[in-house]
Structure 1
Amino acid sequence: MPSPADKLRALLAQDKLHVMPCCFDALSARLIEQAGFGLTFMSGFAASASRIGQPDLGLMSYGEVLDQTRNIADAVRIPLLADGDTGYGNAMNVRRTVAGFAKAGAAAVMIEDQVAPKRCGHTPGKAVVAREEAFDRIRAANDAKAAGADILILARTDARHEHGLGEAIGRAAKFSELGADILFVEAPRTVQEMETICRELPGPKMANIVEGGETPDLPHKELEDLGFAIAAYPLTLMASAMKAMVHTLERLKSGQDRTADLMDFGELRERIGFNDYYEVSSRYETSRRD
């Protein structure tokens, strides 16, 4: 069986755009897989909100993120890209982070150049470290790969915000030289900037589409024509789920009928995996008595 990293390499070898809804837990990842998408990303923003009920401002620890990654990777067969933030410390921490995510089953890990504690890429107050520190992070990540971690490196720069697009592209180009497999220039503000990123940088590029964020929400065909290999949608599922939950809670509180808002109980059980469990457990006499 191919490894998660090999599955992702095979996808990236295709000359097409891969639309990537982002998950926040094992259930949302399963729904993405059931819908027929070929890969997913554990959004740091969404995972922080889901796991600890707090904003994505560097509050989740490495151990918490790693545990969330492991649970998601165990639940799906499609490649999972995971958010490694700034690597949780210096270059040696980055090496440990990359190796840990590989062991947890992630196909790729994102390492970025923000100052710790990091911030969501489409919120105020973010800053990046100096070039050499940023380069050391990607150098260390690639060294972890060379030491045996079977994982791809998704290198992210947030330099566009403070230093302009030229600096961001310069950093990303160096990341590629240092061994990054996928490049991610966060928060370009125009279609022209997105086009420049794809034209000037080598290898697979990722676009990050936050509804209401700074990057234009282009149709899939246009993103593909620009040259992006991956289009990530980090908050689409969480925003949809939260809106539905708030609506249903309002109806429940006021005593209104809510059945039209709910998934059928049979489909709910099927999607979670009850039927698969019963089918497998039927082979064992003791399980039938549970």
Structure 2
Amino acid sequence: MTPTNRLRALLAQDQLIPMPCCGDALGAMLIEQAGFPLGFMSGFAAAAHRLGGPDTGLMSYAEVLDQGRSITDAVAIPVIGDGDTGYGNPLNVQRTLRGFAKAGFAGIMIEDQVAPKRCGHTRGKAVVEREEAYDRIRAAVEARAAGADLLIVARTDALALIGLDEAIERANHFRALGADILFIEAPTTTDQMVRICREAPGVHLANMLEGGATPILPPAELAALGYRIAAYPLALLSAAMQAMVDALAAFRAGQHPQRLMEFAEVRRRLGFDAYDAAARRFGPGGEARCERSDDKRS
């Protein structure tokens, strides 16, 4: 099955899909190893990993696509990619879809923010007028019909700026145009989340950002509200950053970090053991040259 068909099969199961997000191949690999059926390349996380900078439109289309290829190459599970605003006018949107499809993504998110976009839970964002937002989705649907086989996640940030009624209106029109998944960003109450799923019928994505505007709800409650995908956009990035900061603080204090993955486990997860097993099929000398803790050689 293609990545897109794998995603279609997941959605056909009619149950909530947990979707941890990542910004690089290592994060994607760990998501798959943990048994999750779906991943998402977060623009926020990708900017952090690649640039060490904020998600404020600094990454170019080419950089995002290159980061995406490394992620999809690392895993077999389907991955949805963050296509931001499509990187230009409707023709740019179509080029973005073609590029994401060739890169191996299963889906793409296109949003209605003014470029350069911002994280949906930060200040300074703005949305385009309705018709421009609709043109982006029309262009995406046209590119899909022409062969860029991706599921289209249509996102609106209108709730925080114009109101819930406008966000629901846009989501309904996105669905009518052919979007596969709806994403109304940053509801602030459970009541708003209920209205979103009730008044804009379709497959909805909930964004569970710790410290963000939206209530963090357990999967069972999200499913009961009507959501089909639960995205966890920054949990892995935040956990990794905190662990690295703690390790560096220990070094600065003249100590050694305590909470470290065992070296043998690091090797296994990164594929050293599988590499060595495969290399031995071609005779001696092909094993990965990485010292083991039980190695007796000096």
Matched, 1:204 2:203: yes
**Local SS of the residue matching 2:19:** strand
Question: Which of residues 253, 263, 269 in structure 2 aligns to 1:265?
Answer: 263
Work out the CA distance in 2 between the residues paired with 1:127 and 1:163. Answer: 10
Give me the whole-angstrom Cα distance separating, in 1, the residues matched to 2:119 and 2:14: 30
Deviation at 1:257, TM superposition (A): 2.7
Specify the alignment match of 1:185 in structure 2: 184
Please tell me whether the aligned partners of residues 279 and 287 of structure 2 are also in contact (alpha carbons under 8 angstroms).
Answer: no
1:97 paired to 2:106: no
User: In structure 1, what residue type is equivalent to 2:268?
Assistant: E
* Equivalent residue letter for 2:151: L
1:223 counterpart residue number? 222
Q: Any idea what the Cα deviations from partners look like across 1:116-158, whole Å, max 9, x if unmatched?
A: 0000000011110010000000000001101011111000000
Q: Tell me, what secondary structure is at the counterpart of 1:283?
A: helix
For 2:295, the equivalent position in structure 1 comes to none
In 2, Cα distance between the equivalents of 1:222 and 1:63? 38
Contact 2:247–2:256 (8 Å) recurs in 1: no
1:220 is displaced (CA, Å) by 1.0
2:30 is the alignment partner of 1:31: yes
Match of residue 247 from structure 1: 246
Show the counterpart of 1:12: 11
| Distance in 1, Cα, partners of 2:93 & 2:239 | 33
- Spell out the pairing of 1:1-290 with structure 2 (5 A cutoff): 2-258=1-257, 260-285=258-283, 288=286
Aligned residues: 288
Deviation of residue 287 (structure 1)? 5.7
For structure 2, list consecutive stretches of 5 or more residues without a partner in the other structure.
289-298
Pick closer, same or farther for the CA change 1:254–1:191 going to 2, 3 Å.
same
Cα offset for 1:286? 7.2
Q: Deviations over 1:172-198 (max 9, x none)?
A: 111111110000000011000001111
Structure 2 length-normalised TM = 0.95
CA gap 1:214/1:104 in 2 versus in 1, 3 angstroms = same
Larger radius of gyration: 2
What displacement does 1:278 show? 1.2
- Show structure 1 runs of 4+ deviating over 6 A: none
Instruction: Give the secondary structure class of the aligned counterpart of 2:230.
Output: strand
Contact 2:108 2:150 in 1 (8 A): yes
Retained in 1: the 8 A contact 2:57–2:118? yes
> Which amino acid in structure 2 is aligned with residue 159 of structure 1?
A
Q: Secondary structure at the match of 2:281?
A: coil
Supply the RMSD in Å over aligned alpha carbons.
1.1
1:269 to 1:175, Cα distance in 2 relative to 1, 3 A:
same
Structure 1 alignment gaps of length 5 or more: none
CA distance in 1, matches of 2:198, 2:261: 44
Offset of 1:46 from its aligned partner?
0.8
Tell me the amino acid that sits aligned with residue 51 of structure 1.
Answer: R
Deviation of 1:289 (Å):
7.3
| Structure 1 position 288, deviation (Å) | 2.6
Describe the SS at the equivalent of 1:7: helix
Q: 1:167 to 1:257 in 2, by over 3 A?
A: same
